């Protein structure tokens, strides 16, 4: 059970999680991602997480604060010995500004949940060896 409103959970589930790169790709909740599967194989990992530090608990923050939070998240990812690919989470309707994010190959579910909680997030996106992005609620 989650304390989050059903409408917010639905919005997270509908959001497009865009990974930058050459080529970039889009992750969608519960939809297999051949691009993510190929990335896992190329990097020799069996999981990934798409995480952000922006707008904790869905409270909009100024861009400067979000940028500082994102830098802090990237530093925390680096301390885990992992690298991150830039991305952005954006709902197709555009009702909420896109949130700068990181795709972190090799991040375990427990570590992804810990980072999301540490940075005040309601949810994270995590994919295991099947490369199917799953919405993981943290509240």
Confidence of residue 14 (pLDDT cuts 50, 70, 90): very high
Indicate whether 96 pLDDT > 90. Answer: no
- Count CA atoms closer than 13 A to 97's CA, side-chain side: 11
pLDDT digits (tens, 9 = 90+) for 33-83: 999 999 999 999 999 999 999 999 999 999 999 999 999 999 999 999 999
Q: What is the mean pLDDT of residues 93-119?
A: 95
* Cβ 132 vs Cβ 29: under 8 Å: no
Q: What is the pTM of this model?
A: 0.95
Average pLDDT over residues 117-130: 98
The Cα-based distances of 109 to 61, 104, 125 in angstroms read 27, 11, 9
Q: What does the alpha-carbon distance between residue 72 and residue 60 come to, in Å, rounded to a whole number? A: 17
Q: Where are the domains of the chain?
A: 6-137
């Amino acid at each position: 059970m989650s304390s989050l409103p059903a409408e917010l959970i639905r919005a997270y589930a509908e959001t497009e999680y865009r990974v930058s790169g050459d080529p970039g790709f889009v992750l969608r909740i519960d939809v297999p991602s051949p691009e993510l599967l190929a990335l896992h194989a190329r990097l020799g990992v069996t999981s990934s997480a798409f995480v952000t530090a922006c707008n904790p608990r869905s409270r909009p923050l100024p861009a400067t604060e979000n940028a500082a939070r994102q830098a802090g998240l990237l530093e925390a990812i680096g301390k885990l010995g992992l690298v991150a690919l830039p991305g952005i989470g954006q709902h197709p309707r555009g009702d909420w500004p896109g949130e700068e994010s990181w795709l972190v190959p090799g991040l375990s579910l427990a570590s992804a949940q810990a980072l999301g909680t540490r940075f005040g997030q309601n949810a994270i996106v995590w994919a295991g060896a099947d490369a199917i992005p799953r919405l993981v609620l943290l509240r």
